Structure 1
Amino acid sequence: MNIIKARAWLAATALGAALPVGAAMAADLLVKAKPVVAATFDWSGVYIGAHAGYGGGMKDWSPTGTQADFVARGALAGGQIGINKQLGSLVFGGELAGSWTDINGKSHLEIGGPALASSVAIDHASGIDGIATVAGRAGLAADRWFVFAKAGLSAAHEKHSFSMLVTGVPGSFTVASGNEVRYAPMLGFGSEYALGGNWSLFGEYNLHLFGDRSVSLRGTSTAAALAGPLAFDQSIDQSIHVAKVGVNYRWGGVAVDPSYPAVRPVPGNDWTGGYIGVQGGYGWGSTQWGDGFGAPNPDFRTDGWLAGGTIGANAQAGSFVFGVEGEILGTGIKGSLSATGPGPGVATQTSILNSRIDWLALATARAGFVAGSNLLLYGKGGVAIAQEAHTLDLSTTGPTTAASLSGKAIHSGVVAGAGAEYAFAPNWSVKAEYDYVRMFGQAVTMTGTAAGGLFGAGVTLVAPINKVGQDLHLVKFGVNYHFNPLPSVVAKY
């Protein structure tokens, strides 16, 4: 969730917190009775806890050194310590967290073949073995539910290695490695639920924007049995997505009649609580390929079905509702493009490009207001993640050559949308939503074989596609089950 949205819902909640609570009155009494404020859970205090989760993202070794694009993923576990202060329905705080991680990935590429009388095997590997974060948290509390956004800085200890073996050239071998501590901004959001005895459970999503940095690699290069030192700088680009769950113990308790009472929901359905759901819909848009192995780079249409599940939580103060939501969707969104024309050094070249989204995940924050007693209108924004498969088929005449290459990558982007949700029965609601997704350009390393022409019987190729991006429009319909019933809140006089 970006800073503008965070400020918007914080401002809306602050305005709601300033509204007076209606006093109890009796028609036959001349003296107005003092209102009784119900005890609510107070999130103020120091807490300590533990967490576990899973994270991953792309590691893009750019052409400034040696190129490879591959996924790193793995588990993590650690602890956190923090402090909160609740004022009305708003909660502010800070948190320091550290995680041991096993987020690793590697790439193995082979180039060449019998027709070239030699081949090259190249291996890349990158891993993160620790992440530390310091962040501020701010959110909306509704009794035992706390929904929050967070932002801060993260630091990761990383290690990288590279090796290259050339066959057909006796004794040709290169190996290099290096490590670094990389700093980056971190964004996230989640929800926390207070149990009895000062314990609470939470779940959250974090995005670590590590970006593109240059890493110094050192090693040796051997040729014809003669070894010498090797040193070069390698540019590596990355963003890491982390989902984690955990438990906190907080020193604090229930505050009776606090100086800044929490804002009660308006009469009608109370949307506070956790929920799960299912949804389906349709997506369409365009895919853009960047420069690559003789490939054209126009846009082409992609479309198809999508369906999956939802999990989320809301907190309501007055008529304002703030929530967080995670979605995982299988899709049939795909598209292709075929282009024929003159090519470099050949009479004609036909290129067939295909892109397919295997799955799409959305991690978002929602902010909205209750209209009437059963209808919630909201806007949302956050992060989009997708696994995509890409293929490139080439054929030429004069000389005749055929090549087929493919590659997969995890794409990252942003999502913004709006929707409406209607509570039609206790615990149940239906929703309709529109989302716009912008997937940022992602480098893709494609591998395959070529035959004919200069390649003879067949050669293994590596084709780096500079950037592949998308614009998507999603229309979704779904049904949610709320673990807290959606009872009518009745004003008492």
Structure 2
Amino acid sequence: MLAASAAGASAADMPLKASPIVAAGLDWSGVYIGAHAGYGGGMKDWESNGPADFVARGPLVGGQVGINKQLGSVVFGLELDGSWADIKGTGVSTMGGAAFGTVETRATSKIDSLVTFAGRAGIAADRWFVFAKGGITAAHEKHDYLVNVNAVLGGVPLIQSASLSGSETRYAPMLGFGAEYALVGPWSILAEYNYHHFGAGTSRLTGQVTTNGVTTPFAANNRIEQSIHVARLGVNYRFGGIAPDPSFAPVPAAPGTNWTGAYIGAQGGYGWGQTQWPDVFGIAPGTSLPRFDNSSWLAGGTIGVNAQVGRFVFGVEGEILATDIKGNAGGSTVGGFLDTTYTSKIDWLALASARAGFVVGDKLMLYGKGGLAIAEEQHTAVATQSLLAVSINYAGKAVHTGAVIGAGGEYAFAPNWSVKAEYDYIKMFAQQVQLQGTAVGGPFGAGVQISATATKVTQDLHLVKFGVNYHFNP
């Protein structure tokens, strides 16, 4: 009896084996409000009343309200945001000279507010929430158009000025990517990129025209094609906080390298592709429009965020690359009547994309990516006519937008370091380019200023890149 009691007491004194502790996950569900600030810009292509093609850019600031629901490691949400903006630009064109008189046009557009309603979906891992978003945007925009003519027609002076203005609200589909990081308590910070594709639309401009001192009312329809890119930073406050929830079971990353977290990197490579111009000189048949190859080096930096669930990795990434990708095409009409040369060069290239992939083994990640590309390009067109000793030189600059898809692999060779190899294909959307130049010789004498429009320049690119990334989470 005593032995049995002693055995029972001894067993009672032994420590019990604790149940395994499961790390509590952060639950992003709930309502939030926040504020943001950023910068946006894009091309404004006035297809009438000009035409004019120019970059509009500027800051924006505003607020957002939204709601999230988290299921497992997947987060869904809806968000409404509004911004006061000062995204504006002006395109100026001058034609003529001392012997002919001059015509100057000035087209201005300004977006003063943006409102977007969008859905968000992404992956939450640790304190990171990485997401893609899509929805619809409304933008309020103002346009102004000025014309000044100082010429002589048939010996009669013509002094004319016109001033037109108008405003409109435009609607556009939008696509974006971003990442949000949970701070202490109810606060989080975010960074995101959004693309707003407004396409072509017609606005009504009204005003007056004054001809040799006589003023009359005037109105015109103005067709504008445009899209804008916006990068912004923000902060959110969640009612109830983003608290660890012991009952919420996060999906852990697979054993081995955990790719969750932010990273920066450097990369370099080679790009090649093909560019096609319209015929700005108006003499080439439609089957022989200027088309040429372009190629050269590229190098730049990368910044991104990943979220890993099991062996699946979802991330967003931004890249900025300096390039020397360029090419040209030359040719002559039948009999050598006119010799022409077209040249295009990419000064810089930026990519904003989402990545999705999976982990192979414990150090290798294979992924695919898709998103938007932005390129600032210089375009020139030169024509010479030897019989009349005439030369025409045009030059213009434009920001081109395109879609990008790609695939690659990344290998973790040290606790915070990885190397990558990647291929991207970029299809640039057709872009109108305003060209300003000079005509010299023949009837133009010492030279006159001229203007032309390359109605649509199309382009595709292939990029092969190699890089190294530093990950802030080991």
TM-score range normalised by the length of the shorter chain: over 0.9
User: Hey, what's the Cα distance between the residues in 2 that align with 1:253 and 1:68?
Assistant: 49
User: Hey, what's the Cα distance between the residues in 2 that align with 1:291 and 1:149?
Assistant: 40
The residue correspondences of 1:400-439 to structure 2 (distance < 5 A) are 400-439=389-428
1:100 to 84, 95, 107: 84
User: Hey, what's the Cα distance between the residues in 1 that align with 2:319 and 2:407?
Assistant: 15
User: Hey, what's the Cα distance between the residues in 2 that align with 1:295 and 1:69?
Assistant: 23
Q: Is the 8 A contact 2:27 2:245 kept in 1?
A: no
User: Hey, what's the Cα distance between the residues in 1 that align with 2:307 and 2:21?
Assistant: 22
**Deviation for aligned residue 1:443:** 0.4
Q: What letter matches 2:257 in structure 1?
A: N
**Deviation for aligned residue 1:35:** 5.4
SS in 2 for 1:454: helix
**Deviation for aligned residue 1:257:** 2.7
Q: What letter matches 2:36 in structure 1?
A: H
Bigger CA radius of gyration? 2
Other-structure match for 1:204: 192
1:80 to 29, 53, 64: 64
User: Hey, what's the Cα distance between the residues in 1 that align with 2:176 and 2:186?
Assistant: 24
User: Hey, what's the Cα distance between the residues in 2 that align with 1:471 and 1:171?
Assistant: 46
User: Hey, what's the Cα distance between the residues in 1 that align with 2:317 and 2:279?
Assistant: 36
Relative to structure 1, is the Cα distance of residues 299 and 170 closer, same or farther in structure 2, using a 3 angstrom cutoff?
A: closer
**Deviation for aligned residue 1:455:** 1.1
4+ runs of 1 displaced by more than 3 Å? 32-36
**Deviation for aligned residue 1:279:** 0.1
Percent identity, aligned pairs only, is 60
**Deviation for aligned residue 1:148:** 0.2
Other-structure match for 2:213: 225
TM-score normalized with structure 1 length? 0.89
The residue correspondences of 1:223-372 to structure 2 (distance < 5 A) are 223-251=211-239, 252-259=241-248, 261-294=249-282, 296=284, 297-342=289-334, 348-372=337-361
**Deviation for aligned residue 1:470:** 1.0
Q: Is the 8 A contact 1:359 1:387 kept in 2?
A: yes
State the number of aligned residues.
449
Other-structure match for 1:51: 36
User: Hey, what's the Cα distance between the residues in 2 that align with 1:468 and 1:353?
Assistant: 11
Q: Is the 8 A contact 2:290 2:342 kept in 1?
A: no
**Deviation for aligned residue 1:295:** 6.8
Other-structure match for 2:4: none
Q: Is the 8 A contact 1:114 1:457 kept in 2?
A: no
User: Hey, what's the Cα distance between the residues in 1 that align with 2:247 and 2:234?
Assistant: 28
RMSD over equivalenced CA pairs, Å: 1.5
Listed as ranges, the gaps of 5+ residues in structure 2 are 1-16, 152-156
Other-structure match for 1:26: none
Q: Is the 8 A contact 1:66 1:234 kept in 2?
A: no
Alignment pair present for 1:441 and 2:425 = no
Alignment pair present for 1:480 and 2:464 = no
Tell me the alpha carbon deviations over residues 405-443 of structure 1, each in whole angstroms, 9 at most, x when there is no partner. Answer: 100000000000000000000110000000001111100
User: Hey, what's the Cα distance between the residues in 1 that align with 2:250 and 2:166?
Assistant: 52
**Deviation for aligned residue 1:114:** 2.1
Q: What letter matches 1:341 in structure 2?
A: T
Please say which of residues 316-325 and 262-271 is displaced more in the overlay. Answer: 262-271
Other-structure match for 1:15: none
Other-structure match for 1:151: 134
Q: Is the 8 A contact 2:274 2:291 kept in 1?
A: yes
Tell me the alpha carbon deviations over residues 445-492 of structure 1, each in whole angstroms, 9 at most, x when there is no partner. Answer: 10011111121221100011111121110000000000000xxxxxxx
SS in 2 for 1:336: strand
SS in 1 for 2:443: helix
User: Hey, what's the Cα distance between the residues in 1 that align with 2:424 and 2:405?
Assistant: 6
Q: Is the 8 A contact 1:191 1:324 kept in 2?
A: yes
Tell me the alpha carbon deviations over residues 121-171 of structure 1, each in whole angstroms, 9 at most, x when there is no partner. Answer: 111000001101111111000020000011111111100010111112444
The residue correspondences of 1:71-220 to structure 2 (distance < 5 A) are 71-116=55-100, 118-168=101-151, 169-220=157-208
Q: What letter matches 2:121 in structure 1?
A: A
SS in 1 for 2:185: coil
Q: What letter matches 1:187 in structure 2?
A: L
